[in-house]
Structure 1
C-alpha cells in the first residue's frame, strides 16, 4: 500500500478524528475532501472548513461538535479554550483553590446523582426518547396566553385607554358632519416578556436534567423571547439547538454542545460568568429569570450571594426552583439557599415538571419585584 503524502496526512487524520467521535465519514468522502482542499489551494483555514462542510457533510444537529473538533485539530487546543473562542456560546469557569478538600467524582457519585462536587468532569450524555408528559402538553397548550407580558411602546385601540386616538376620532367625525360623538382611546400594546432559564446540569441534579431540558425546549417553542443556559462547571448557551422543532433532535444537538453534564457544582462562579459577558447579561434585563437548581453550592457562597443580588436587580422577577422544596412550609437548610433566600422573589419547588410548569404559568399573575 502506497504511503500517503506528508501534506495530506493532516486532512486524513481529521476524517479519522470525526469517525472516532461518532461521525459517519465514508472513505469516498475522505477522498472528496482531499480533492476539494487541493482544488481550493487552500489560501486560509476557512477554505479548508468550507471544503469539509461540503464533502464530509456533518449533520446540522452536530455542527457545534464538528466546529469544535475542527478548531481542535487545525488550530490547536488553545484556540478552543481561549477566552475569545468560548465567549460566543460556552464560558469555562475559572478553578480556584487547590481542591484538597473536594469530593472526588467517583463512579458511585455519578450513578447516584445525589452528591455535590466542585471538580470538573467533561462527559457526553445521550437523552432517551420519551413520550410527552401531561405537564408538558399542558404547558404547550397554555403557555402562549399565560406567560408574563409587558406593555410595549406601540399603541392599539381600546374602549378605555389613557391616550386619545385623534386620527380615528377625526375620521369618524366625517360621518357626522364634523361633530365628535365619541372620543377614541388608545392603550399600549402588550408584548411577551423576556424569559431567561438557567438549568443546573451538575451531578446532584442528574435525576432531573433530562426533564428540565425538555421543559426548556417546550419554553423556547412556546415563546419568542426565551434564552436557555446550562451551568455546572461551565456556562453554556443552548438556546440555538433548542430552537429545533423536534424535541429529540433538539436535545441531541444540545447534548453535543454541553460538555459538563453530571459534573461539579459551582453556581456562584457560573452566575458571575453569565453577568461578566455583556451580551449574556443583557438577556436578564427586564426578564422573568428562572433558576432550576438544588443550591448545593461547592464554591464560594459570598460569590453566589453577590451574583444573585446583581441578577435580581436586573430581572423583572427572579425565581429559584429547587427539588429540596418539598412543601409549602419549606425552609432553606443549605448554606447557599439561606444566603440567597432574601434576594430571590420566589423560592419554590422544582422537584417535578408539573411543579415547574405551574410556577411558570403563574408568573403573569405575580407583580414585579
Structure 2
C-alpha cells in the first residue's frame, strides 16, 4: 500500500486545470503543479482572479500564449468561452489528444467536405470510416525489407566479436584460467546495432482527404515492421495514434484510429500542430535522434514563419527530417507555395508523397543516407 496520501477533493479543479493546459500544448512540470497548489493554499483566494494570477506566476505560460491561457481559464473556472474560442478558430490553441482519450468529446459535424481540396484553419469534427482493402505490393515490400533497410544506430550495449575496439577482460581472464594463466588471445567486444526511432506525422486535413486512408495503411505497415515507430495525425488537432496502429489487423487498426481522431478532413494548421507536439516533452523526445517523416501537402493557412520555426526546431532534434508532399511529383521539384518555401532550408528531403509506392521507396532508401 502506498504511503502517499491522495490529494484532497478541493484540489481536484486545480489539478484538472493543469491537465487541460497540458492537453492544449502547454509544458507544465510536476513541480510547477505543486507550486500552483501551494500558491492557492497560501493566497486563500476569494476571487477567481487570484487563481488566474497564481497560475501565471507558477505555471509560467509563455507570453505569446497568454491569450490561450486566459481562454482556457475562463472556460474551466468560469464556464464561459472567450470570443476567440467562440468563433470556432480556437486562437492559437491546438488540442492534443492521446490515443487512450479519444472519446472525450462527441463527434459532430455541421457539414461534410466532399472535395478535400481547400485548406482552411476552421475546425470540423467528423467521423471517418475506412473500408477493407488488400495490402498492396509496396506495403508487402515494406514489411519484408524494413528490418534490414531501415536506419540503425550504435547501441551502448556490447556483444562478442572477432574484432572490436574494446577488450572483453572478464572473458579473457576466464579463458586464461583454463590454460594456467597463459593468454593466447584477447576476447573482443563491439557495440550492437539497434533500429533508429521513426516518427511519422500524417496530415489528415481536407486538402489531404484523398490520401488519408493510404497514408494510414502505410503507417500501420511501418509500425508492424518496426517496434520503434511513433505515429501522430494532425489537422486542427494533434492526435497520437501509435496504440491502434500496433494492432495486427489493418482493419482493426484503422477502425481504432477512426474512433480516436476527430479532426478528419478539416482545417490545416500545421505550424500550430507542430508547436503543440514540441511543447509536450514526452512527445518531443520521440523526435530526438529519429527519422522524422512528415506526410503533408504543406498548404498552411497560418503564419509560414511560425511553421518554419517549428520545423527548424524539429529538424535540429531529428537524425533526418523528410517532408513528403503530393506536390513534389517531379525529380527536380522546387517548392512554390509560401509555406514550403519557408521550410525548405530546414528539411533534409522534400520528395514525392503522392503515392504509397513513392513513400515506401523513400523510407527504404533512408538507411543508405547519412544524417545532414
TM normalised by structure 1 equals: 0.71
State whether structure 2 residue 21 is matched by structure 1 residue 83: yes
Taking a change above 3 Å as real, the CA distance of residues 85 and 339 of structure 1, as seen in their structure-2 partners, is closer
Taking a change above 3 Å as real, the CA distance of residues 84 and 303 of structure 1, as seen in their structure-2 partners, is closer
Structure 1 distance, partners of 2:89, 2:184, is 68
Structure 1 distance, partners of 2:361, 2:89, is 36
Equivalent position SS for 1:342:
helix
Find the counterpart in structure 1 of residue 147 from structure 2: 144
Taking a change above 3 Å as real, the CA distance of residues 271 and 87 of structure 1, as seen in their structure-2 partners, is closer
Does the CA-based 8 Å contact 2:231-2:240 persist in structure 1? yes
Find the counterpart in structure 2 of residue 96 from structure 1: 91
Task: Give the drift of 1:84.
Answer: 5.0
Find the counterpart in structure 2 of residue 114 from structure 1: 117
Find the counterpart in structure 2 of residue 249 from structure 1: 252
Structure 2 distance, partners of 1:117, 1:353, is 25
Find the counterpart in structure 2 of residue 44 from structure 1: none
Q: How many residues align?
A: 281
Q: How does 1:139-178 map to 2 (within 5 A)?
A: 139-178=142-181
Task: Give the drift of 1:293.
Answer: 0.4
TM normalised by structure 2 equals: 0.71
Structure 2 distance, partners of 1:305, 1:361, is 27
Equivalent position SS for 2:347:
coil
Task: Give the drift of 1:86.
Answer: 6.3
Q: How does 1:331-346 map to 2 (within 5 A)?
A: 331-346=334-349
Task: Give the drift of 1:191.
Answer: 1.2
Per-residue CA shift, 1:154-197, capped at 9, x if unaligned? Answer: 10112221111122222333444433222221111111111110
Q: Which moved more, 1:311-320 or 1:157-166?
A: 157-166
Equivalent position SS for 2:345:
coil
Structure 2 distance, partners of 1:294, 1:210, is 15
Structure 1 distance, partners of 2:198, 2:175, is 41
Find the counterpart in structure 1 of residue 279 from structure 2: 276
Find the counterpart in structure 2 of residue 201 from structure 1: 204
Find the counterpart in structure 2 of residue 329 from structure 1: 332
Equivalent position SS for 1:216:
helix
- Unmatched tracts of structure 2, length 5 or more: 1-12, 27-84, 93-108
Does the CA-based 8 Å contact 2:25-2:276 persist in structure 1? no
Structure 1 distance, partners of 2:363, 2:89, is 32
Structure 2 distance, partners of 1:310, 1:149, is 23
Per-residue CA shift, 1:244-284, capped at 9, x if unaligned? Answer: 11110110010010011011111001000101111111111
Structure 2 distance, partners of 1:321, 1:185, is 43
Equivalent position SS for 1:348:
strand
Structure 2 distance, partners of 1:311, 1:154, is 28
Structure 2 distance, partners of 1:308, 1:252, is 30
Task: Give the drift of 1:366.
Answer: 1.2
Per-residue CA shift, 1:98-133, capped at 9, x if unaligned? Answer: xxxxxxx9979x322222122111111100100110
- Unmatched tracts of structure 1, length 5 or more: 1-74, 98-104
Find the counterpart in structure 1 of residue 194 from structure 2: 191
